[in-house]
Amino acid sequence: MKRLLALLVAGASTVGLTALAGPPAQAATGCRAEYRVTSQWEGGFQAGVKITNLGDAVDGWTLGFTMPDAGQKVVQGWNATWSQTGSTVTARGVDWNRTLATGASADLGFVGSFTGANPAPTSFTLNGVTCTGSVTDPPTDPPTDPPATGTPVAVNGQLRVCGVHLCNQYDRPVQLRGMSTHGIQWFGQCYNDASLDALANDWKSDLFRVAMYVQEEGYETDPAGFTGRVNSLVDMAEERGMYAIIDFHTLTPGDPNFNLDRAKTFFSSVAARNADKKNVIYEIANEPNGVSWAAIKSYAEQVIPVIRAADPDAVVIVGTRGWSSLGVSDGSDESEVVADPVNATNIMYAFHFYAATHKDNYRATLSRAAARLPLFVSEFGTVSATGGGAVDRTSSVAWLDLLDRLKIGYANWTYSDAPEGSAAFRPGTCGGTDYSSSGVLTESGALIKSRISTADQFPTS
């Protein structure tokens, strides 16, 4: 269920309000607030609020609104400091978005609970000035960003983590959608000029994940050779304006500390070599399993400084417990990461799923965690967790719709012709030159291509 509340006032009377933290907030002389419920479940929901300053620039702001029903509560929020007293909710700007120029906006969000009804909030204010208007669903004239032109990297530039989102050079949240290789030691023939041209131009992929297995005939057998292959694929992605995820694909054994020295050697090399590129994201441990969060965190806090020494700006993705399920596959949940996060900045946490195996309880965990942690789905499949079996279209679409609503980026497993249900191509495809037509796509490939080839919504203002 979605609702939108569009409120607009121009030339409202000025009312002063002192911020609860930081320098005194200035009064606004006009504002617009847009409120949307992005997902809802029994007893809970997630909502976004976009506040636009239509008056003089402010340095320090407080958004206020009223919950119409006594059972509605803010549980946790992001991109602001949230509090609630009775039915009155306040959200105060944080360091990176506290200044709002005339016409500037701030995107906030929260997870809430409710009993009974869940009506839209009322009486939005910005620094004490009321934003008044009418309720519309759908919006009669929703604010839109001008369509971005150019490749994903050309438009978005160097990425960074802001709050719980991945943000572009304009400090606006973005969602990257793309494909992962299979093991490059087995399917290297699938990654060539023709296949990457198709991925960038026909599939319109934003990113290309390079899965470099460490064991299983991978990196440990030829460190220099595999490092060179990864760098070459990063270059090919860059030439086509796609982001590249360098995936240190640890799987067996599941404790990433087994490969700690290899990880330091590998990431020291690739970070130094690719430090000047804007398209590189580092994924330091694919799917930790059979190991505690404390051990994973220790590994991350030793590897990340190696990357930062050469490439201080790049985003790093940290694997999570239970095959990067935030612990759900081990009977846990996101609370251990929330309570004890990795001591590093500009990082995201990996979440993996396979649609035929991982369903409502995994989606509920992702929805909760997305309010507290920056997440990236660096691997998922439309089939079972084995990589095989039939496509679960219903669950896959539910997952993709959820990721779109939450603006969580993803890479599908796999851009290969492996003889398994998760592969995008029919067996034998990689021996030819066609990587896009319906004749070479599997059911999974056709579904994913139809989703990622739709126009990106990259905000530039």
Active site residues: 287, 379
The token duo for 182 is 């299979």
Nearest Cα neighbor of 303 from 277, 274, 271 is: 271
Q: How many helices (H) and strands (E) does the chain have?
A: 10, 23
- C-alpha distances in Å from residue 156, one per residue of 32, 171, 348, 459: 26, 9, 18, 9
CB 337 within 8 A of CB 365: no
Q: Which runs of consecutive H residues, i.e. helices, occur in 328-409?
A: 335-339, 360-369, 393-406
Q: How far apart are CA 346 and CA 309, in angstroms?
A: 14
Find where tokens 């719980």 sit: 164
CB 66 within 8 A of CB 87: yes
**Residue 142: Cβ within 10 Å count:** 12
Q: Is 205 helix (H, G, I), strand (E, B) or coil?
A: coil
Q: How far apart are CA 410 and CA 402, in angstroms?
A: 11
Our CA dihedral for 421, 422, 428, 429, rounded to 10 degrees, sits at 130
